[in-house]
Chain A
Amino acid sequence: MLVAFLTFWEVAARLAHNIGIATFSDTMVAAWDLMFGNGRIWEAMLNSNAALVLGFAISAVTAVPLGLAAGRSRILDRALSPYTAILLAIPVAPLVPIAITAFGLSLAARVSIVILFAVIFIYVNTRAGVRSVDRRLVEMAHAFGASERTIWTKVVIPSAVPAMFAGLRIGLGRALTGMVAVELLLVATGVGKLLLEYRDRLQPAYVFATVLFVIAEALLLLELARFIERKVAPWND
């Protein structure tokens, strides 16, 4: 499958004779150069990922507890629902200029955009996980004299874990989107800067190679998330 795709890519790109489309082999050469020749990908990735790591971490530590609480408390859920509805409904890209005006062309601006992209999906899924707890298990815990705290730690949170991880995975993908989007749109730095620069210098092989690195990172991170989930919630596969 992969071999077929790569062959198709190589052949199609050669036949296209389009200066904007790099062949697979050229892309691989460029990737090699980005890693071991000029080595620019490492600095770019490091720079970009600072926003991703910070933004995703902040998203997770706010959205998970809020989602847990809103899943259990009707009052909090009602209080939060207008904001969550807005965050779910609007496209985030138009918010990028607002973040820039607020924070300037800084790391804070990029982090806030990553949060805007990621936070809602983590929240919504965690809340849904708490909501979907089997009432019969909660009743069983009551019958055996469990305190509210025990019901939380032994029944509600474990049953929310799979949905929570689904939210974290989606949130991770969205955070990555946010990271690249803001770099391309406004704050030219990191991977985004690299993409823009190579585009302007008409070096499509380097553009393609950079995109491949972003894809590789996304796949790696999702695999990592799945690995952690299997460790934390082994009963769920």
Chain B
Amino acid sequence: MTDVTAASTETQPPAPWPDDASLAAASHGGPMIELRGVSKEFLGDRSSTTTTHALDNISLTVNEHEFITVIGPSGCGKTTLLRIVAGLIPYDSGQVLVKGKPVTGPGPDRAVVFQSFALLPWATVLENVAFGLETRGIPRAEREEQARVLIKTVGLAGFESRLPRHLSGGMQQRVGLARALAVNPDILLMDEPFGAIDEQTRRIMQEELLRIWGYRRKTVLFVTHSMEEAVLLADRVILMSPRPGRVHEIIDVPLPRPRGRETERTREFTDIKELLWDKLRVMQTV
């Protein structure tokens, strides 16, 4: 298994960095995702009466074009939070609004990238990337054309007719990312997307994501358990505390963009990462 990064980055068009003025023009500026006092409990087994208080009174606003990462100790409900915003599971109380409308289920304005990649093993790269377009009833020719563009964007040109099992983990998640981008959502919901990928590939994927985000500036909600990742990618880091999951603190990351590996060597980056670690360490029960 080889990754294709080396080849792909050369063939990519240079990422045009949208200046703030053009972004502001395209943006309605309003909040994209709003959570108001959202709580969620999971019932235990039928036999037991215990419930898990997964989320407690979460309030959070994510603005358009913002890149938000969510981090916290395991069991803090960060994945639950993302799944609620995705409309995959219901919430008990509070309000979840996407573009001002209450979330009642999945919608075309949101697309999810899964930790497990969740690729159809019997479908080719092309078919997998086109899946979200297919469910929307877009004709084959048209959806394949769009899918090919996204496959090129994530650096998988030439792999269109491969099956997922012939790809490395990093390449599989490129497919997952392309599938999400193909439906052109306003919001990308990423659930520890690089969590199942080895460290070296993971670093490359982070840079790729930043590159792609640079010219397709979606609103991103990104769940992670890596502090470096949380700081490197985000405009703001949401730090959650566990059981019940609460928003413990929101940390601004005012590092300049575009960011890359050099960013990680800067003093500012290290300071924020250490600050995050200090706060996480207090909550961490081993």
**B122: min CB distance to chain A, Å:** 4
Those of A116-166 within 8 Å (CB) of chain B? 134, 136-137, 139-147, 150, 154-155, 158-159, 161
Q: Verify A145–B107 contact, CB threshold 8 A.
A: yes
Chain A residues near B120: list those with CB within 8 A: 137, 154-155, 158
- Does B183 make an interface contact (CB < 8 A)? yes
Q: A235 at interface (Cβ–Cβ under 8 A)?
A: yes
Q: B106 to A140, Cβ gap below 8 A?
A: no
Does A233 touch B at the CB level, under 8 Å? yes
Stretch of B49-57, B110-118, B207-215, B244-252 on the interface side: B110-118
How many whole Å from B275's CB to the nearest CB in chain A? Answer: 34
Q: In chain A between 186 and 237, which residues have their CB closer than 8 angstroms to a CB of chain B?
A: 233, 235-236
**What CA separation (Å) do A146 and B134 show in the bound complex?**
9
Contact of B112 among A140, A150, A155, A158 (CB under 8 A): A140
Query: Is the CB–CB distance between B135 and A150 below 8 Å?
Result: yes
Give the size category of B's interface with A: 20 to 34
Does B118 contact A142, Cβ atoms closer than 8 Å? no
Partner of B135, one of A136, A147, A159, A161: A147
Given A143-B112, A146-B135, A154-B131, A137:B118 Cβ within 8 A: yes
Q: Mark B76-88, 1 if CB is under 8 A from A, else 0.
A: 0000000000111
Q: Is the CB of A145 within 8 A of B135?
A: yes
The distance in angstroms between the C-alpha atoms of A158 and B136, with both chains bound, is 20
A138's nearest neighbour on chain B, judged by CB, is B118
Q: Is B163 interfacial (CB 8 A cutoff)?
A: yes
Residues of B within 8 A of A146 (CB): 135
Query: 25 A-B Cβ contacts within 8 A?
Result: A136-B116, A137-B118, A137-B120, A139-B114, A140-B112, A140-B114, A143-B106, A143-B111, A143-B112, A144-B112, A144-B131, A144-B132, A144-B135, A144-B183, A145-B132, A145-B135, A146-B135, A147-B135, A154-B120, A158-B122, A161-B122, A235-B121, A235-B163, A235-B165, A236-B122
**Known A137-B120, A143-B87, A145-B106; further 7 A-B contacts with Cβ < 8 A:** A139-B114, A142-B88, A143-B88, A143-B106, A144-B183, A146-B135, A235-B121
**Residues of A in contact with B (beta carbons under 8 Å apart):** 134, 136-137, 139-147, 150, 154-155, 158-159, 161, 233, 235-236
